[in-house]
Amino acid sequence: MSGVAPNIHHVGDVDSTMEVARAMLAAAKGAPFAVLAESQSKGRGTGGRVWTSPKGNLYFTLCIPEASIRAEIVPVLPLVTGLACRAAIMSIVSGANFYVKWPNDIVYNGKKLGGSIVESEGGYLLVGIGMNVEVAPPVTDNGRDSTTVNYAAAAVGQPNITALQLAGAVWKQYFEIISDTTVSRKAVVENFEAAMDKNLILHRRTPTGRDPEPLRAVRLNEWGHLTVLKPDSTEETLMAEYLF
Ligand code: BT5
């Protein structure tokens, strides 16, 4: 599927690109497509969290037929997503250090720039990606401060970019990674580990906020699970926890 021509549907203000994409699955007849919205009134993150979605940023759901994704990389698809998003930004803005934060975030300068969710339906994987391009919304629920691609671009003297440009770059990078048969699960894990910001102080999420214990990312195992270092110098491997 390398070089798959982008098939991106542009929509205005929607509830969530995940729902818009779902409604389009049947008509897509097994071909890959994506939905790019200007803004969302019910943008969502993981575990019922809200994704604040004002106009000016990227709200994108990439719908990929499950059959076209090598079984080997399906378990690490959130990591593939983070790597594709980071590569997309860096293909447009050079000279700034963008990082990934396990399992599903893009960060710049210790602040959150974007995040992703993966859902599955009707033979498709729906990869939802939100990245702040122009607007850094205030973040409320104990989250990390937010930042934007254009803030980072300005910091390194590069021109502003648009959500449209970024969407095209994400499409390209995503299909490049999933089509490249030399990219094994091991390579995805190693590339993600190399792109992690290991200086971030992480906190486990709890149902009501965040756990006070400060953690640091150490390494990923072959399945992409993160081992963290605790203040008492012991290590623990996380399975499916999300971190602030
Ligand atoms: C994520 O969730 O980071 C996944 C976000 C995915 C959003 C995309 S937009 C296109 C598609 N359509 C949707 O409806 N969703 C996807 P999570 O790791 O759970 O992070 C959510 C937390 O991030 C919130 O609880 C806030 O703390 C913070 N947050 C919310 N909006 C933000 C923003 N615009 N920028 C930075 N942080 C934000």
Residues shown for the chain: 244
> How confident is the model at residue 66, as a pLDDT?
94
pLDDT digits (tens, 9 = 90+) for 135-168: 999 986 667 899 999 999 999 999 999 999 999 9
Token code pair at residue 165? 């440009």
Tell me the CA–centroid distance for residue 90 and ligand 1, in Å.
Answer: 21
pLDDT digits (tens, 9 = 90+) for 44-85: 999 889 999 999 999 999 999 999 999 999 989 999 999 999
The answer to whether the CB of 141 is under 6 A from ligand 1 is yes
Tell me the CA–centroid distance for residue 77 and ligand 1, in Å.
Answer: 17
What is the atom index within ligand 1 of the atom nearest the CA of 111?
A: 36
> How confident is the model at residue 141, as a pLDDT?
61
- Average pLDDT (178-206) is 92
Tell me the CA–centroid distance for residue 116 and ligand 1, in Å.
Answer: 7
> How confident is the model at residue 4, as a pLDDT?
83
> How confident is the model at residue 185, as a pLDDT?
94
pLDDT digits (tens, 9 = 90+) for 164-180: 999 999 999 999 999 99
- Percent of the chain whose pLDDT exceeds 70: 97
Question: Are the C-beta atoms of residues 73 and 188 closer than 8 Å to each other?
Answer: yes
CA atoms within 13 A on the CB side of 232: 3
Tell me the CA–centroid distance for residue 189 and ligand 1, in Å.
Answer: 23
> How confident is the model at residue 59, as a pLDDT?
98
The answer to whether the CB of 139 is under 6 A from ligand 1 is yes
**Atom 15 in ligand 1: residue holding the nearest Cα:** 44
Tell me the CA–centroid distance for residue 46 and ligand 1, in Å.
Answer: 7
> How confident is the model at residue 142, as a pLDDT?
67
* 134 burial type by CB count under 10 A (0-12 exposed, 13-18 middle, 19+ buried): middle
> How confident is the model at residue 20, as a pLDDT?
98
Whole-number Å distance between alpha carbons of 178 and 128: 16
Q: How many helices (H) and strands (E) does the chain have?
A: 5, 12
Architecture in CATH for domain 8-195: 2-Layer Sandwich (3.30)
> How confident is the model at residue 144, as a pLDDT?
87
In the chain, domain spans? 8-195, 205-238
Q: Which amino acid is at 35?
A: V
The answer to whether the CB of 39 is under 6 A from ligand 1 is no
**Atom 25 in ligand 1: residue holding the nearest Cα:** 49
Confidence tier at 2 by pLDDT (50, 70, 90): low
Question: Are the C-beta atoms of residues 217 and 196 closer than 8 Å to each other?
Answer: yes
**Could you tell me the pTM of the whole model?**
0.95
pLDDT digits (tens, 9 = 90+) for 88-128: 999 999 999 999 999 889 999 999 999 999 999 999 999 99
**What does the mean pLDDT of the chain come to?**
93
The answer to whether the CB of 46 is under 6 A from ligand 1 is yes
- Average pLDDT (181-199) is 94
Whole-number Å distance between alpha carbons of 98 and 158: 14
User: Does residue 202 carry a pLDDT above 60?
Assistant: yes
**Does the model's ipTM exceed the 0.95 cut?**
yes
CA 242 distance to own-chain centroid: 13
- Percent of the chain whose pLDDT exceeds 90: 80
Confidence tier at 239 by pLDDT (50, 70, 90): confident
The answer to whether the CB of 147 is under 6 A from ligand 1 is no
**Atom 17 in ligand 1: residue holding the nearest Cα:** 45
